[in-house]
Amino acid sequence: MSEGDRTLVERMLAGDQSAFDAFFVAYAPRVAAFVSRRSSLDRAGVEDMVQASLIKAIRNLESFRGEASLFTWLCTICRHELASLHRKMQRQPIHESADGDTAARDTLLELRVPSDNEPQNELELEAHRAAVAKALNSLPERYARVLEWKYGDGFSVEEIAAMLGLTPIAAQSLLARARKEFKGVWLREHA
C-alpha cells in the first residue's frame, strides 16, 4: 500500500471529513470507469453502482489490510457488487406495461436520431463493448485488473508496478500474460 493510501485510510477512520471528500474526488471517477468497462449499465446505473461500492468500502474501511492499493480494493468490492446486481437481474422476470404513459410514448416517437449517429454503428459499438467486457470478466481478476489499468485508465507500466508492489519488469511480464490470455478468450469467443 502506498503511503498516500495509508494516510487517507487513517484519516477516514479518524472521521476526518476532508479525507472522505478527497477519497470521493480521487476514486469515484476511476470506479465509474471500471463499472462502465465491466457492464452495460446506463449513466444512472453506473452512478448507483459507484455509490453502492464506495459506501460499502467506507462501511468496511477497518477491514482494509493494505495488501493491495486502495483502488485495487475498491475494484474488488465493485466487482462483487456488479456480480450481485447481475444475479439479481437474472432472477427478476421482465415486465412491460401495456398501459404505458401516453405522453412519454408520444415524446419518444418524436425524437429523431442525429444524422451523424447511425443506429447500426451505435449497435455495433455497444455489441463490441459488451464482448470486451465479457472477455475481461472471464479472465482471472489480476489479469483483468492490469489490462483495465493499462488500456482503460491509461496507467503506465511503472504506475501499475507501483500499485501492485512489483518491479516494472514483473508488471510488464504480467501484462504480457494478461494480453495473451485475453487474446485466447477473444479468439475462442469470436472465431
The C-alpha cell at 141 is 481478476
Handedness of CA 147, 152, 158, 159 (dihedral sign): negative
Q: Where in the chain are the domains?
A: 1-91, 127-191
| C-alpha of 30 from chain center | 8
Residue 4: other Cβ atoms inside 10 A: 12
| Alpha-carbon gap, residue 158 to 33, rounded angstroms | 21
Cα 160 to Cα 20: distance, rounded to the nearest angstrom: 24
Q: What is the pLDDT of residues 111-120, one digit of tens each?
A: 444 545 566 6
CATH number of 1-91: 1.10.1740.10
Encode pLDDT of 41-95 as tens digits.
888 888 998 899 989 989 988 888 877 788 888 888 888 888 888 777 777 665 5
- Tell me the per-residue pLDDT of 11-38, one tens digit each, with 9 for 90 and over: 889 988 998 899 899 889 988 888 888 8
Q: Which among 121, 156, 129 has a CA at the least distance from the CA of 42?
A: 129
Q: What is the DSSP string of 75-94?
A: HHHHHHHHHHHHHHHHHSPP
Confirm or reject CATH 1.10.10.10 for domain 127-191, answering yes or no.
yes
pLDDT reading at 1 higher than 60? no
List pLDDT tens digits, range 131-156.
787 888 888 888 888 888 888 777 88
